[in-house]
Amino acid sequence: MSDINQKKSEGESTDATQKENKTTSNAKKEATTASKPKKTENKTSSSGTKKKSAPKKEQQAKADVNEKKQAEPAKKQTKKESQETASQDKAPAKKQTQSKAKKDATKAEKPKKPKQEEPKEDAQPKAEKDVADTTDEVEVAEKAFVERDEELISQELKELENIKNLVQEEVNKILENPETGDWNELVKTARQEIKEAKEAENIDEDDLCEVCGERARDTSISQSNPYCSECRELMKKHPFKFSEIFTPIIVVAILFLSSWQLSQEWGTFSNVAKAEALVKDKKLYSAVTAYDEINTQLKVNQKVIGKKILENQVELYNKLGAEYYENTEKFISKYYSGQNLDSFSNRKVKDAMTTMEEFDKVYEVVATSFQSVKDYKSFVKSFDETIKKDKDETYDKGLIEYWKYYAALAFEENKEVQLEHLKKMEKASPQYSSLYLPSLAELYLNMKDYDNMFKYCNALDSINYENLNTKAYRAIAYRLQGNFAKATKSVKDGLEIKSTDGNLNHQMAIILLIEGKPKEALQYAKTAYDNSTEQYMYTSNANLYALCAHLCNDSDTYTKMEETLGNQLSNDVISIIEGSKTLEDVFQKGEGDITWK
């Protein structure tokens, strides 16, 4: 815009300059012509009429000159303002033009002196007035032209800005919705929006739609209708998609099927929960029994839940340890036959199998060594040589120490040697705690180290509270210390777990005999004898049963047991019957129990 105005100002300044030069040239000619007196005037100067007219013209000319001088400051100010509105680049040229015109006008004011002065005074004011009038006209025209162009340019810029905004809005819509219809549709939409925007400016606030607040209410339906036609159509549409309706139906169907499946398998779930509660309470024997019942309820189609139940049982057998190795092996053979035990899902089964295989591998070497030895030292020598020869195999160090302890126990090596092997095993192989913990508890009991005995009994109970050996060991320790109340309590705690256990019934019969209750002791002794599972316990329980029968005057039972035992009838029993020993001598001193050596 500044370039356009500048060019216009330059053109206007040039035109004004040309006009001024032309006017100045004409004025100069007129002044020159006026400076030459006519001969007729000189010749007729003697007439009276012409003599009177000359003074009047002279006075009029002087008055015009004075008036012109007074008007010069105002004209100069007007000319200065006109020059300021023009371009600064052309201002010097215009000033030169005006200066030249002024000089020419001055020259016109000062013509050469004629011989007669009257015509000179008459021509000078006329030229100056013409120059001033011409300058004023040029300045007014220039100012009007500039003002008119500025107004037109401002209107054009405003229209261009509106067009730009409209185009930008449509471009933004295209960018936001690239799949919108063709250009004609966009233009149509834009026109409609512009039309609605103009109409909205004239809509009363009470007549606007209550939803969008932009369009007028659709009163064609009802005068009280608060919505425009667009919002009303949108409200007619259903707010849900087909997928949003179909999804809840599927969810409800799945829930129904799940509930039905749950009702079918609720019995299995309930039993599994009870079994796991027993495991949590450290009642592992009861948990095994509960899972045995669950296994009979599992169906072929219950693969997922069945797999989890089987994994739980493998973990349970691992906790029970060596005493359940045979049961664990049978269980895995039955339920995991043909499966890949190296897979991640069967890692627990794989660990259990590895532990048992390691145990069996060492046991085979032990069995071979026992066949050719007669004492502890020869066994240890043979056992170590066999292991060293087999360089292709590695054997668990803890198991090696366990079987050396077993040999020391079998060949009646001193208790310090037995303890040394068990302590080495405890340090080397903590995973075989089911082997060394009960052995250490029994060994400390035989050594009458009751503090350590209680320590290892507590460790066993922390794994399996239903371990009955710990209850029997505590009962023996308390009885030997003379604390029959605690001894009785320990026995009863064990009998609550298994009332037919041979060892616990044996201990209860001894306590009752010492307390002077032989008839009650006879019942516990009979139960112990009937539930003897091991040979050494069978002999011990048979001797105690015979003793209780004799003290109760039950000769038939005593005679029967005497015949059954034969030469294994204990000298301790014979000594008590003969009266050479008391019950306290046998059951509270020495070994603390009946011996049959």
pLDDT digits (tens, 9 = 90+) for 393-425: 889 999 999 999 999 999 999 999 999 999 999
90 and 10 co-located in one domain: yes
Tell me if 483 is assigned to some domain. Answer: yes
User: End of a domain among 159, 179, 199?
Assistant: 179
User: How many domains does the structure of the chain reveal?
Assistant: 3
Long-range contacts of 586-590 (CB under 8 A, 24+ apart): 587/479, 587/510, 587/513, 587/514, 588/479, 588/480, 588/482, 588/514
Name the token pair of 10. Answer: 């330059």
Tell me if 284 is assigned to some domain. Answer: yes
519 and 594 co-located in one domain: yes
User: End of a domain among 322, 338, 354?
Assistant: 338
Tell me if 424 is assigned to some domain. Answer: no
* Helix-helix angle 303-320:242-280, to 10 degrees: 20
Residue type, 176: E
Tell me if 493 is assigned to some domain. Answer: yes
How many angstroms separate the CA atoms of 253 and 263, rounded? 15
Examine the pLDDT at 136 and tell me if it is beyond 80.
no
More confident residue, 48 or 488: 488
**Confidence band of 206 (pLDDT split at 50, 70, 90):** confident
What does the pLDDT average to over 17-29? Answer: 45
Tell me if 434 is assigned to some domain. Answer: no
Give 209-227 pLDDT, tens digit per residue. 877 877 787 788 787 888 8
Name the token pair of 511. Answer: 């306590």
What does the pLDDT average to over 72-77? Answer: 49
Tell me if 237 is assigned to some domain. Answer: no
What does the pLDDT average to over 152-169? Answer: 82
Give 168-195 pLDDT, tens digit per residue. 887 777 767 655 456 677 677 777 776 6
Are the C-beta atoms of residues 166 and 194 closer than 8 Å to each other?
yes
The beta strands (E) that lie in 209-252 are given as: none
Query: 216 - beta bridge partners?
Result: 208
Q: Which domain holds residue 308?
A: 243-338
Examine the pLDDT at 27 and tell me if it is beyond 50.
no
137 and 257 co-located in one domain: no
Q: In this predicted structure, what is the pLDDT of residue 305?
A: 60
Are the C-beta atoms of residues 165 and 28 closer than 8 Å to each other?
no
Mean pLDDT (the chain, rounded): 76
φ, ψ of residue 528 to 5 degrees: the values are: -65, -40
DSSP conformational letter for 372 = T
Q: In this predicted structure, what is the pLDDT of residue 482?
A: 92
How many angstroms separate the CA atoms of 465 and 471, rounded? 10
11 and 150 co-located in one domain: yes
Q: In this predicted structure, what is the pLDDT of residue 509?
A: 96
Examine the pLDDT at 50 and tell me if it is beyond 80.
no
Closest CA to 397 of 366, 438, 426, 364: 426
More confident residue, 245 or 528: 528
**Confidence band of 555 (pLDDT split at 50, 70, 90):** very high
277 and 149 co-located in one domain: no
146 and 254 co-located in one domain: no
8 and 130 co-located in one domain: yes
Q: In this predicted structure, what is the pLDDT of residue 293?
A: 85
Distances (CA, A) of 92 to 119, 181, 332, 376, 556: 37, 61, 115, 134, 158
580 and 483 co-located in one domain: yes
488 and 590 co-located in one domain: yes
Tell me if 419 is assigned to some domain. Answer: no
Are the C-beta atoms of residues 512 and 518 closer than 8 Å to each other?
yes
How many angstroms separate the CA atoms of 572 and 552, rounded? 17
What does the pLDDT average to over 230-238? Answer: 73
Distances (CA, A) of 579 to 254, 518, 558, 576: 81, 16, 17, 5
Examine the pLDDT at 266 and tell me if it is beyond 70.
no
Tell me if 105 is assigned to some domain. Answer: yes
Q: What percent of the chain has pLDDT over 70?
A: 68
Name the token pair of 373. Answer: 């030895």
Closest CA to 568 of 597, 590, 537, 534: 597
What does the pLDDT average to over 130-138? Answer: 68
User: End of a domain among 135, 153, 179?
Assistant: 179
Closest CA to 596 of 508, 514, 535: 535
Are the C-beta atoms of residues 152 and 92 closer than 8 Å to each other?
no
Q: In this predicted structure, what is the pLDDT of residue 63?
A: 54
**CATH code for the domain in which residue 561 is found:** 1.25.40.10
Examine the pLDDT at 367 and tell me if it is beyond 80.
yes
Q: Among 201-210, 451-460, 580-589, where is mean pLDDT lowest?
A: 201-210
Q: Assign residue 93 a region (left: φ > 0; alpha: ψ between -120 and 50; beta: otherwise).
A: alpha
Q: In this predicted structure, what is the pLDDT of residue 563?
A: 93
More confident residue, 241 or 174: 174
478 and 597 co-located in one domain: yes
Examine the pLDDT at 441 and tell me if it is beyond 60.
yes
